[in-house]
Structure 1
Amino acid sequence: MPLLMSFRRWWAVIFFAILTLPTIGLVAPDLPAPLRTVAAPESRWWEDAARRLDPYINNVFGFRGAVLTAHRSYVRFIGDTQGDLALKGENGSLFLKDEHALEQSLGQLVRPEAVTSIVALAERMNAYMKAHGGRFVVLIPPNGHTTNFENLPAYARRLKVSPTEYDLVAEKMKAAGITFVDMRPILAEAKKTGPVHWRYDTHWNQRGQLLGFNAAMAAAGRPDLEVKPEDALGPPEPRLTGDLLRATGAPVPNPPDVMFPPKGPMVAPKDPKLIPGIFKPVPDNDPFQPYAIDTGHAGPRIMVIGDSFSQGSWRGLGVSQASAYAWMHHRYCRFEMGAVERFKPDILIYAPTERAMPCKGTPAE
């Protein structure tokens, strides 16, 4: 009688294959995963393996990216509150753990195809604007992880390498002749005199918003459209909220965040005169409703293709400086090009935040 009957041999093969999967996963291609917080086992790990070795194993098992992605999908499916959505940094600072923003800012995740796709889109948009006598500007608001790098956990700061995706985009945009605004040095310089990005929120604060708008106007060759901080920002005051605080259910920290109440040209108009026929209708529950406003005064026609970093915060600024101002979401490069053609901007600004740079699907043509 054979040791293994024929029908059992296949089960043996399958069982053996399953046992080898973790080993294969150590070298096989994997999905992107959160940073490994333990890069090596502690010294003399064999003396207390449960304490000294387990953290390392939990960081390096095979197919780690696929397993963690599946787990995240599962907890979202069952309605978990995602209490680990935020990474806690120095002095209580919070950072987004989603969208691979941390890995991207540290240079641990660099996607050449993402860099190529956004540069190719920018080249097409630049050619279009040149052909129509306008100016095209690309401006990338950095992740909070990039702007407030010093507040990241110590282990994360040690993992910083170059080049990052932002580095490569900046380099290739300039090589392609695209007017590109690198906000990192601008924000770094401004931080010497006050915060530019909230500590408990994924967005830049009002100072950062104003710096970004002014940098875009200067890059477009219209420094006369820049708005002075004293005209747009009130004195600093505590901010007791933040999207990361809401997402995690964490209490308001002490000290709280700092905000600069908008005033004058930074305040959005209450009853703007909307320009019909520019955008195709979007669902009422879409959080990124496009708009085009006739301001009723002189100035260039300005259009921004951006996201939550510019949606509301630049509305008042744009309306104060333009004869017509429009905004729509970039849809990860899949925005409606027809809206640009109908609006006919003199200045077109493409401004996805750093973590939203990669194109998804087919870019706008």
Structure 2
Amino acid sequence: MLIRGRRYFAVLGFLLLATPLVWGMVLPDSPDLIHKEGRRLAPPPAAPADFAGWSKLPGEVDAYLKDRFGLRHAMINLHKDLTHPVLLKVNTAALIGRDGRMFYEGNEMVRQSAGLVLRDQRVAEAVDMIASMRDALARRGIRFLVAIPPNSSTVYQDDLPIWAQARGRKTEYDLFLQDLAARGVKTVDLRPAMNTIRAEGDEAYLLYDAHWTARGALAGFNAVVEADGHPDWRIDPATALGPPEERKGGDVARILGVQDDVTEKVETLALPPPGKDEAFSQDVMPDHVITTGKPGPTVMVIGDSFTASYFPLMLSQHVGRAIWVHHHQCGFDWKLIDRFRPDEVWWAPTERFLVCDPGVRPLDFAG
């Protein structure tokens, strides 16, 4: 009788483990749900071609399945519903700070901002790759600049619990800029621009979302063009920002399952239409090019969701073409450089994507 009972438990356990896998193949969650968390779907694992490829395969398979197992979003919401009465302040992927500000905890973001994660070897590898990119672009006569949008947890340190505050510790952002400067790579630190917004009593980042506000993005853009020798490209917030509008939820609120319960007033970007905007990838956040029909240079921004809808539109007020390409954790397609032949390239992944994924470099990059 005891053996038969164990068999039933074994069958039940198998069904519980198999259900998410089967559900994910039959009715997978929309990729939009991953995109709304401020990140991209892990790509399908590539067929290994050598020993290094085989050694990376388990991690690639694991990342792929984690993003695609069935009922993933429903389980996140269920976890929130079960733990919310007991644990009001934290979630496995989010943290609620003082005054209700929500911080994303994925990609080691909060610990990275606190200096509790300092992956010096991976920072050095990213710097080596970026310096090689700079050299390869210089041989083509293309200018290059690095501008990293900081984490919200870097800018709003005082809204975090004491354990999550840097309190003088060196962070990866510090080390990254230091190493790039030593290699002679042109950089701009965007943290002072965000701190200036706060000092003026405005919001640099959204309360319930990991991203910056339109005002924060505009301040970041103005800091970049100033450092890049284009002060005439600066955009005046007084004319570029529309009146505040109510915004429901946010990507971190969505992770916590409270996206319908929180709202905030946010300013919107009110710039003239950019011209012809064409996508040239099939991603949820597609690579795209704006052709303005005006004389001026071509500028390519290699970034993520922080810059996708902001920097090309801002650039289009001044340039001939503005191109936006996702960095793919350093695995973007290098052939796009030769396809579009930009006059300038801005490397602008968000701070939490400051280091490359292990072993990843731009596709077809020989530098």
When normalised by structure 1's length, the TM-score is: 0.72
Q: Which of residues 296, 319, 322 is equivalent to 1:322?
A: 319
Q: C-alpha distance in 2, partners of 1:172/1:154?
A: 28
Q: Which of residues 289, 293, 306 is equivalent to 1:292?
A: 289
CA shift at 1:221, angstroms? 1.3
Gaps of at least 5 residues in structure 2 are: 1-61, 81-90
Task: Tell me whether 1:362 sits opposite 2:366 in the alignment.
Answer: no
Shift >4 Å, 4+ stretches = 72-78, 251-254
Which residue is 2:191 aligned to? 184
Which residue is 2:300 aligned to? 303
Which residue is 2:172 aligned to? 165
Q: Deviations over 1:249-285 (max 9, x none)?
A: 226667x4331111124xx54x72549xxx6xx4x3x
Task: Tell me whether 1:212 sits opposite 2:220 in the alignment.
Answer: yes
Which residue is 2:211 aligned to? 203
| Secondary structure of residue in 2 paired with 1:196 | coil
CA shift at 1:73, angstroms? 5.6
Q: C-alpha distance in 1, partners of 2:286/2:68?
A: 29
Task: Tell me whether 1:258 sits opposite 2:265 in the alignment.
Answer: yes
Given the superposition, is the C-alpha separation of residues 75 and 334 from structure 1 closer, same or farther in structure 2, using an over 3 Å criterion?
closer
Q: Does the aligned pair in 1 maintain the 2:249–2:261 contact within 8 Å?
A: no
Aligned length: 284
Q: Does the aligned pair in 1 maintain the 2:290–2:312 contact within 8 Å?
A: no
Q: Does the aligned pair in 2 maintain the 1:288–1:328 contact within 8 Å?
A: no
Q: Deviations over 1:31-64 (max 9, x none)?
A: xxxxxxxxxxxxxxxxxxxxxxxxxxxxxxxxxx
Q: What does residue range 79-90 of structure 1 map to in structure 2 within 5 Å?
A: 79=72, 80-81=75-76, 83=80, 84=91, 85-90=93-98
Which residue is 2:3 aligned to? none
Given the superposition, is the C-alpha separation of residues 137 and 243 from structure 1 closer, same or farther in structure 2, using an over 3 Å criterion?
same
Q: Deviations over 1:124-164 (max 9, x none)?
A: 2222332233321100001111011111124423x645211
Q: C-alpha distance in 1, partners of 2:145/2:108?
A: 26
| Secondary structure of residue in 1 paired with 2:144 | strand
Q: What amino acid sits opposite 1:181 in the alignment?
A: V
Given the superposition, is the C-alpha separation of residues 208 and 74 from structure 1 closer, same or farther in structure 2, using an over 3 Å criterion?
closer
Q: Does the aligned pair in 2 maintain the 1:306–1:351 contact within 8 Å?
A: yes
CA shift at 1:101, angstroms? 0.5
Q: C-alpha distance in 2, partners of 1:250/1:143?
A: 22
Task: Tell me whether 1:228 sits opposite 2:210 in the alignment.
Answer: no
Gaps of at least 5 residues in structure 1 are: 1-68
Given the superposition, is the C-alpha separation of residues 146 and 344 from structure 1 closer, same or farther in structure 2, using an over 3 Å criterion?
same
Q: C-alpha distance in 1, partners of 2:194/2:271?
A: 23
Given the superposition, is the C-alpha separation of residues 167 and 253 from structure 1 closer, same or farther in structure 2, using an over 3 Å criterion?
farther
Q: Does the aligned pair in 1 maintain the 2:249–2:259 contact within 8 Å?
A: no
Q: What does residue range 124-139 of structure 1 map to in structure 2 within 5 Å?
A: 124-139=132-147
Q: Which of residues 334, 337, 355 is equivalent to 2:331?
A: 334
CA shift at 1:288, angstroms? 2.5
Q: C-alpha distance in 2, partners of 1:317/1:191?
A: 22
| Identity %, equivalent residues | 33
Q: C-alpha distance in 2, partners of 1:264/1:293?
A: 14
Q: Does the aligned pair in 2 maintain the 1:304–1:348 contact within 8 Å?
A: yes
Q: Which of residues 254, 271, 276 is equivalent to 1:272?
A: 276
Q: Does the aligned pair in 1 maintain the 2:146–2:188 contact within 8 Å?
A: yes
Given the superposition, is the C-alpha separation of residues 199 and 105 from structure 1 closer, same or farther in structure 2, using an over 3 Å criterion?
same
Q: C-alpha distance in 1, partners of 2:219/2:259?
A: 30
Q: Which of residues 343, 352, 357 is equivalent to 1:346?
A: 343
Instruction: After superposing the two structures, state which structure 1 stretch, 242-251 or 187-196, moved more.
Output: 242-251
Q: What amino acid sits opposite 2:231 in the alignment?
A: P
Q: C-alpha distance in 2, partners of 1:109/1:237?
A: 37
Which residue is 1:34 aligned to? none
Q: Does the aligned pair in 1 maintain the 2:330–2:356 contact within 8 Å?
A: yes
Which residue is 1:148 aligned to? 156
Given the superposition, is the C-alpha separation of residues 324 and 78 from structure 1 closer, same or farther in structure 2, using an over 3 Å criterion?
closer
Q: What amino acid sits opposite 1:328 in the alignment?
A: V
Q: Does the aligned pair in 1 maintain the 2:103–2:209 contact within 8 Å?
A: yes
| Secondary structure of residue in 2 paired with 1:204 | coil
CA shift at 1:343, angstroms? 0.9
Given the superposition, is the C-alpha separation of residues 154 and 76 from structure 1 closer, same or farther in structure 2, using an over 3 Å criterion?
farther
Given the superposition, is the C-alpha separation of residues 168 and 74 from structure 1 closer, same or farther in structure 2, using an over 3 Å criterion?
closer
CA shift at 1:105, angstroms? 0.5
Q: Does the aligned pair in 2 maintain the 1:220–1:347 contact within 8 Å?
A: no
Given the superposition, is the C-alpha separation of residues 273 and 351 from structure 1 closer, same or farther in structure 2, using an over 3 Å criterion?
closer
Q: Does the aligned pair in 1 maintain the 2:111–2:164 contact within 8 Å?
A: no
Q: C-alpha distance in 1, partners of 2:259/2:341?
A: 46
Q: What amino acid sits opposite 1:228 in the alignment?
A: D
